[in-house]
Amino acid sequence: MSAIKKVVLAYSGGLDTSIILKWLQDVYHCEVVTFTADIGQGEEVEPARAKAEAMGVKDIYIEDLREEYARDYVFPMFRANTIYEGEYLLGTSIARPLIAKRLVEIAKQTGADAISHGATGKGNDQVRFELGAYALNPNIKIIAPWREWDLNSREKLMAYAEQHNIAVDYKKKGKKSPYSMDANLLHISYEGDILEDPWAEPEDDMWRWSVAPEAAPDQPTYIELSFSKGDIVAIDGKPMSPAEVMIYLNDVAGKNGIGRDDIVENRYVGMKSRGCYETPAGTVMLKAHRAMESLTLDREVMHLKDDLMPRYASLIYNGYWWSPEREMMQTMIDASQQNVNGVVRLKLYKGNVIVVGRMSDTDSLFDKSIATFDDDAGAYNQKDAEGFIKLNALRLRIAGKKRDK
């Protein structure tokens, strides 16, 4: 342990990382550099500076990474319509590659010997942080306190905090411990406490970003999202940056009760885990993007993307953002988006995202003259369907004759 002189800690200022900061100082007797990322968690990050200073930290990095996060991580992921196990929009997973990248970069800038994180030994985040760090710096040293110490419960952590006079911001009256929560521009997640019982319904006051669908307005909200090469670039005609898009959609969708999910998922480390997620912007973005692709994307390209999406989602969920296979797939996905341009009109109503219109002046593959139920003036020869069907049925007919014999 004495070989470690300086460590860069991913530091939120919350319970876990505040304890880790003190633990690193006491156990490794090293200098700690803190890194706090603003990726849209909706809370002030500057208080982390005062907490770190109070614990003797000299090098403190606090960075606004919201635009980089939205532009370089969330938007590329949504070009693939990415969803894990049919439900999870990967709000935690997609934030980890960016944090890992900055940890490695700051370690190089400050001459640190190692990086450290607050991910538990049971979770996916330890894998995501460390796979990312190793991909970017194969020789990096990583300290994962949850795999070393014996503070293996919230109660022990809070007792440690009290013993060492570490401030704890969030205590909920009547509960033995707070939820484990993680937030960024894409989502906020909740785990632990009563959620560890898959039968227990989440409490109403747990949710932070959305109203309950039954409490949402009785009148729908209509919005129009403009796409350029698969990315949302404007809302209701107003140009917006990627982060601005997400901030706006989180607000308007949350007010309409959109984005709540209660999921039991398969963690990469092997166990099933129950978590609740609020993803207002992501829920809208996924629905709108698929609608835009339905109008502008070739059938076989769309189906190929759908075939590959679960693999792509698993790569992100399992921590392989910086892998060559993910980068290869991203190149293909991005190439598919060149003609995904146009406008989608949505109706937001009591937890629902309803597509009510889509158009593209330049790239629509919808041909009304062919698709019409009225007289198509010879644009489509219905007699051609007979041969098409018979050829496609040939192998089925041969197999049927064999069965008959």
Q: Is residue 96 part of a domain?
A: yes
Question: 189 and 112: one domain?
Answer: no
Per-residue model confidence as pLDDT tens digits over 110-129:
999 999 999 988 899 999 99
43 and 145, same domain (yes or no): yes
Report how far apart the first and last C-alpha atoms of the chain are (Å, whole number).
77
The answer on 339 and 211 residing in a single domain is yes
The predicted structure's pLDDT at residue 178: 54
* Domain tally, the chain: 3
* Locus of tokens 């993307």: 305
Q: Are residues 214 and 114 in the same domain?
A: no
Residue 315 banded pLDDT, cuts 50, 70, 90:
very high
Q: What is the pTM of this model?
A: 0.93
DSSP assignment of 326-371 equals HHHHHHHHHHHTTT--EEEEEEEETTEEEEEEEE-TTT----HHHH
> What confidence tens digit (pLDDT) does each residue in 172-195 have?
444 443 578 899 999 999 999 899
Does 32 lie in the same domain as 124?
A: yes
Task: List the CATH number of the domain containing 56.
Answer: 3.40.50.620
Q: Does 80 reside within a domain?
A: no
Phi, psi angles (nearest 5°) of residue 29: 50, 45
pLDDT at position 42, please? 83
Specify the pLDDT at position 173.
42
Active site residue ranges:
16, 96, 125, 180
Q: What domain range is 149 assigned to?
A: 6-66+92-177
User: Can you tell me the distance from the alpha carbon of 105 to that of 108, in angstroms, rounded to the nearest whole number?
Assistant: 5
Residue 77 lies in a domain: no
Of all residues in the chain, the percent with pLDDT exceeding 90 is 82
User: What are 212's two structure tokens?
Assistant: 């309950």
User: Rounded CA gap, 369 and 148, in Å?
Assistant: 68
Residues 318 and 196 in one domain: yes
For the chain, the average pLDDT equals 94
pLDDT one-digit tens code per residue, 140-156: 999 999 999 988 777 88
Return the pLDDT at 158. 85
Positive or negative, the CA dihedral 257, 187, 88, 157 is negative
Helix 125-136 vs helix 299-318: crossing angle, to nearest 10: 100
Instruction: Write out pLDDT tens, residues 262-295.
Output: 999 999 999 999 999 999 999 999 999 999 999 9
**Looking at the domain assignment, is residue 74 inside a domain?**
no
Domain membership flag for residue 71: no
| Domain shared by 10 and 96, yes or no | yes
pLDDT tens, position by position, 28-71: 999 999 999 999 998 888 889 999 999 999 999 999 999 999 99
In a domain, 107, yes or no: yes
For helices 299-318 and 324-336, give the axis angle rounded to 10 degrees.
Answer: 150
Helices (DSSP H) in 73-197: which residue ranges? Answer: 75-78, 96-110, 125-136, 154-163
Over residues 355-363, the mean pLDDT reads: 97
Same domain, 173 and 61: yes
Task: Supply the pLDDT for residue 176.
Answer: 40
Residue 53 lies in a domain: yes
Question: Do residues 169 and 186 share a domain?
Answer: no
The pLDDT value recorded for residue 43 is 82
Residues 342, 359: Cα–Cα separation, whole Å: 6
Domain boundary among 177, 192, 223: 177
Same domain, yes or no: 223 and 302:
yes
Last residue of a domain, one of 160, 177, 194: 177
CATH number, domain containing residue 348: 3.90.1260.10
